[in-house]
């Protein structure tokens, strides 16, 4: 006797880009990149229940779009189209990963939804089939389907899983504003460096941190340049970098750091309203 699963809850991790190199513009309008991405221990929570027909989506954050522009909705539709299943689902998203933050929340939600639906409906799509499906939804979706740190190439959809040399303790810092990825990439070619801000690669423990998008983003969002510079001056911090296209800047922390002390200092000296989250690479 087989018991059909009707509901499940899954966690969708955020990510940081430990390095992001832009190699040039492609003929399809995207940019050719090479990036080392690591999943981190900050999660959105997704509840999925089977139902007879529709895809019903809701989120506890009213600023998250709920229609076809939402990547979870697009992932669910793509799954049902690919598998020709006539059923439906109710999906409830509890948001912890801020959006427009360079942390991949939407892409992770989509990838996690694809994996969960594959399990819930016992469709046995291979990882390769899920990756092919994911790459039609968004550039980072393929990465999250591997559940591992990875070097990603092309526009991000060519994924080579890798292991980080060691687990990194991370502090995420994000101001209230968002940065559009499309805008950041479109400005990359013509952007200039701000004097006095370090854009050079940072090296420690055989790890190289670098983000080519800092140049275009910092030029308009000067606060992010100031945030990175401030973090680099703190005794608790080994390295600091913007993740993806921002607006999150993360610090790699030294061992046995009092994170509360550091976050309180950041709020006092930089921005009273700054959002922070202490986590680690997974």
The one catalytic residue in 44, 140, 212, 228 is 140
Active site includes 268? no
Q: How far is CA 246 from the centre of its chain?
A: 10
Query: What residues contact residue 111 under an 8 Å CB cut-off, 6+ apart?
Result: 12, 75, 130, 134, 141, 142, 143, 144, 145
The one catalytic residue in 15, 174, 212, 228 is 15
Query: What residues contact residue 256 under an 8 Å CB cut-off, 6+ apart?
Result: none
Active site includes 228? no
Dihedral over Cα of 57, 106, 132, 180: its sign: positive
Torsion angle, alpha carbons of 27, 31, 35, 37, to 10: -110
Q: How far apart are CA 243 and CA 17, in angstroms?
A: 5
What is the β-pairing status of strands 55-59 and 158-161? Answer: unpaired
By annotation, the residues acting in catalysis are: 15, 140
């Amino acid at each position: 006797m087989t018991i059909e699963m009707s509901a499940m809850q899954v966690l969708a991790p955020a990510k940081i880009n430990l390095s992001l190199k832009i190699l040039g513009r492609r003929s399809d309008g995207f940019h050719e990149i090479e990036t080392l991405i690591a999943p981190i221990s900050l999660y959105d929570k997704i509840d999925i229940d089977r139902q007879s027909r529709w895809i019903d989506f809701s989120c506890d954050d009213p600023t998250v779009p709920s229609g076809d522009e939402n990547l979870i909705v697009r992932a669910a539709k793509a799954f049902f189209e690919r598998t020709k299943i006539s059923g439906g689902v109710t999906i409830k998203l509890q948001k912890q990963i801020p959006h427009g933050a360079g942390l991949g929340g939407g892409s992770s939600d989509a990838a996690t939804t694809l994996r969960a639906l594959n399990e819930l409906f016992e469709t046995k799509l291979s990882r390769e089939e899920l990756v092919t499906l994911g790459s039609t939804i968004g550039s980072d979706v393929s990465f999250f389907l591997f559940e591992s740190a990875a070097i990603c190439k092309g526009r991000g959809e060519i994924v080579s899983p890798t292991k980080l040399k060691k687990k990194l303790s991370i502090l995420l810092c994000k101001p209230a504003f968002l940065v559009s990825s499309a805008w950041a990439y479109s400005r990359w070619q013509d952007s200039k460096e701000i004097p006095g801000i370090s854009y050079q690669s940072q090296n420690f423990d055989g790890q190289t941190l670098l983000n080519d998008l800092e140049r275009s983003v910092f030029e308009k969002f000067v606060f992010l340049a100031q945030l990175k510079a401030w973090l680099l001056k703190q005794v608790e911090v080994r390295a600091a970098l913007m993740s993806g296209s921002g607006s999150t800047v993360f610090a790699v922390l030294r061992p046995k750091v009092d994170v509360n002390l550091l976050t309180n200092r950041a709020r006092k000296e930089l921005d009273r309203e700054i959002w922070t989250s202490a986590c680690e690479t997974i």
